[in-house]
Amino acid sequence: MLARSLGQRMRGMRETLFGMKGLCHTWLMRQVGQRIVGTIALFPSGEALRAAAIHQATGQALAAVATSGIPKGIYRFSSFAEMNRHTEEAAARAVALNVRRRLGRS
């Protein structure tokens, strides 16, 4: 009985995974946290416009240099704080390089 029900469940999962009962990326997922993801709107909110402006300004600030500031490689960090510090320093280097290039200094 147990083997039979397990086989039926596996068959059902396989059917679901391969699209017979719906695509796996359309399944409902468990939500963790309280963040509300914005939706596309004809008239976006002021908060959404501010977020888009910040995103666009950041992209334009980095546009003159073709680097994120982080050299290719494998990095191992002992803490998230160390990883964040490394990432922030790399972004600062990329922004500084971008400013120098825009001012004509290499």
What confidence tier does 25 reach under pLDDT thresholds 50, 70, 90?
A: low
| Contact in structure between 94 and 57 (CB atoms under 8 Å) | no
Burial of 48 by CB count in 10 Å (0-12 exposed, 13-18 middle, 19+ buried)?
Answer: middle
10 membership: H or E segment, kind and range:
helix 2-17
46-67 pLDDT, tens per residue?
988 998 999 988 887 767 777 7
Give CA–CA dist 11/75, Å, rounded: 41
Q: Look at residue 48 in the predicted model and tell me its pLDDT.
A: 87
Give CA–CA dist 65/106, Å, rounded: 11
What confidence tier does 94 reach under pLDDT thresholds 50, 70, 90?
A: confident
7-21 pLDDT, tens per residue?
565 555 555 455 455
Sign of CA dihedral 53, 58, 61, 67: negative
Give CA–CA dist 70/58, Å, rounded: 16
What confidence tier does 78 reach under pLDDT thresholds 50, 70, 90?
A: very high
Q: Look at residue 84 in the predicted model and tell me its pLDDT.
A: 94
